[in-house]
Amino acid sequence: MPRLNASVSLPDTVAAPGFTPSEHGTGIVHLGLGAFFRAHQAVYTDDALARSGGNWRILGVSLRSTAPADELAPQDGLYTLIERGAGEPKARIIGAISRAVSGATDIEEVRSALAAPATRVVTLTVTEKGYGIDRAKGGADESHPAVIADLTTPEAPQGVLGLLVQALKLRRAAGVAPFTVLCCDNLPENGTMLRSGVVDFANRLDADLADWIASEVAFPSCMVDRITPARTETTLADAARLTGHDDAAAIETEPFTQWVIEDRFPSGRPDWEVGGALFVEDVAPYEQMKLRMLNGAHSMLAYSGFLAGHRYVRDTVADTDLRRLIERHFSSAAMTLDPLPGIDFDAYAQELLERFANPSIAHETYQIAMDGTQKLPQRILQPALAALQSGQNVRPFAFATAAWMRYSLGRTDDGERYALRDPMEVEISERLANAQTGDSIFSALAALRGVFPETLMAAPEWRGEVIGALTSMLEVGVASAIAAEAASELP
């Protein structure tokens, strides 16, 4: 079967790019060439190019792995997006990527592209640990390997902060307007976070440059949402069946997609709203809604569901007891939010449940469970603190936290071992080496730096609820603990 590329013909049932890719120049550099970017920002850009044109194609950069570039380069940047909803999956070819490169082998091209006047927007999806930012202090993380290396050799950067600062330095020296920096990772106040890291990194090298970045470079925040499971052999097989071509870069996703963006782009931007993007003055309320309701419930069901033997999110919704706890989490999280004009939280919760239950999406609980120490604070602990301070029942958030603590032991109830895949995995394992009871596990993990709010952990009510839920999981097993928890919620 021939490989997908710009010269092939496609079946009428497959949507081709609504523009001629070769007729549009590159105006965006994207760092983090993973599946989510290809299912989300690249699709919005594809829609914008089809409707409004412009030189807005994307140079996609994988900072470490060469795999994405190896997949996309022979295909002229084209790939199949498979949407799985009710009925037959739908295939669409995305043409927004002009070139795919790897920071491991093409770092000079990356540096040149970032400094080029044609680049007006830099977008990023590198996950929180990829930035090298200390969220507790609000600046560059001095212990991050990329930060250490790039501060030592700032003229030859390879990490996110170093690359951005060097490019902005070169643009300033050449009299070229700065690009807009748009973080698209699922993090609270992601623009503010990235700005703090970039400015602090620059200040360690050149205070004047740091001041210029702080005053002249836009770092809008945004909220992103689209469930994108890991690619499987079925993904590739369906892409070949639907398009008639081999596609090593095919990905799959759900029909739903959402992007809420602060409209601050001094050097211009694609017409992303034609693809459904919503531009607002303040993204924070939308961000909190998603983090606390969708992502919070995702984390809770991932830890507890994985340990209860559920491989996929859809399986957790099919479990009557766990479904009740998912619905409880939605409701409790919504109670910590301020009203949002035009948003019905109950309707949003119902929409989320339907998305989670999508039988065509194989979203693994183990995939969601990774990087827990990076996700838990904004998804579970901040709403838990808000609930505590308002007198709301904290049990739903305590159960989710207990499930993470039980998951952190790295073994199922049957004794099967698994990797946590967490940046603090070594420290977690060391702290839990001699912890066997709910109380000792709670105390060991409570000491992790920068994870738990002191006010929350000092509250006797919180401590009691977490230890109680955790003790139940340890004594009767996670599946039975879920059933008991759900039964306690019955009227």
Whether residue 31 contacts residue 270, with contact meaning beta carbons closer than 8 Å, is answered with: no
Contacts of 237 (CB under 8 A, 6+ apart): none
> Cβ atoms within 10 A of the Cβ of 248, count?
17
75-90 pLDDT, tens digit per residue, is 999 999 999 998 899 9
277-298 pLDDT, tens digit per residue, is 999 999 999 999 999 999 999 9
Is 4 buried (19+), middle (13-18) or exposed (0-12) by CB count in 10 A? buried
d(CA 431, CA 458): 19
Residue 489 has pLDDT above 90, yes or no: no
Contacts of 44 (CB under 8 A, 6+ apart): 257, 259, 270, 272, 275, 276, 277
d(CA 258, CA 125): 15
- pLDDT band for position 186 (cuts 50, 70, 90): confident
Structure confidence at residue 86 (pLDDT) = 83
Whether residue 366 contacts residue 289, with contact meaning beta carbons closer than 8 Å, is answered with: no
Whether residue 57 contacts residue 66, with contact meaning beta carbons closer than 8 Å, is answered with: no
Give the class (CATH, top level) of 21-280: alpha beta
- pLDDT band for position 272 (cuts 50, 70, 90): very high
User: 16-49: string of b/e by CB count within 10 Å (b at 16+)?
Assistant: bbebebeebebbbbbbbbbbbbbbbbbbbbbbbb
Region 171-183: mean pLDDT is 98
DSSP of 153-172: STTS--SHHHHHHHHHHHHH
Structure confidence at residue 341 (pLDDT) = 83
Region 480-490: mean pLDDT is 93
Q: Can you state the angle between helices 460-476 and 395-407, rounded to 10 degrees?
A: 50
DSSP of 59-118: EEEESS-SHHHHHHGGGTT-EEEEE--SSS-EEEEE--EEEEEETTT-HHHHHHHHHSTT
DSSP of 343-387: --HHHHHHHHHHHHT-TT---BHHHHTTTHHHHHIIIIIHHHHHH
pLDDT > 90: percent of the chain: 95
- pLDDT band for position 491 (cuts 50, 70, 90): low
Alpha-helical (H) ranges within 187-336 are 190-203, 207-216, 233-243, 284-289, 296-307, 313-318, 320-335
pLDDT > 70: percent of the chain: 100
Comparing CA positions, the residue from 402, 389, 257 lying closest to residue 336 is: 389
d(CA 81, CA 38): 8
* Lowest pLDDT segment from 131-135, 249-253, 269-273: 131-135
Comparing CA positions, the residue from 319, 478, 323, 299 lying closest to residue 406 is: 478
Contacts of 391 (CB under 8 A, 6+ apart): none
The mean predicted confidence, pLDDT, of the chain is 96
Residue 307 has pLDDT above 80, yes or no: yes
Please state the domain extents for the chain.
Answer: 21-280, 284-488
Structure confidence at residue 138 (pLDDT) = 87
Structure confidence at residue 188 (pLDDT) = 86
Residue 339 token pair: 């009203």
Residue 228 has pLDDT above 90, yes or no: yes
pTM across the whole model: 0.86
229-253 pLDDT, tens digit per residue, is 999 999 999 999 999 999 999 999 9
Phi, psi for 156 (deg, rounded to 5): -135, 60
How far are the Cα atoms of 19, 45, 77, 100 from residue 57, in angstroms, in the given order? 11, 7, 10, 11
The owner of tokens 């001629």 is 20
Structure confidence at residue 131 (pLDDT) = 96
Residue 33 has pLDDT above 90, yes or no: yes
The single-letter code of the amino acid at 235 is: T
Sheet order of strands, 121-124 included: 97-102, 57-62, 26-31, 121-124, 180-183
Structure confidence at residue 203 (pLDDT) = 98
Residue 177 has pLDDT above 90, yes or no: yes
* Lowest pLDDT segment from 31-35, 133-137, 350-354, 419-423: 133-137
d(CA 15, CA 128): 34
Question: What CATH number labels 284-488?
Answer: 1.10.1040.10
Helix/strand/coil percent split, the chain, to 5: 50, 15, 35
Contacts of 389 (CB under 8 A, 6+ apart): none
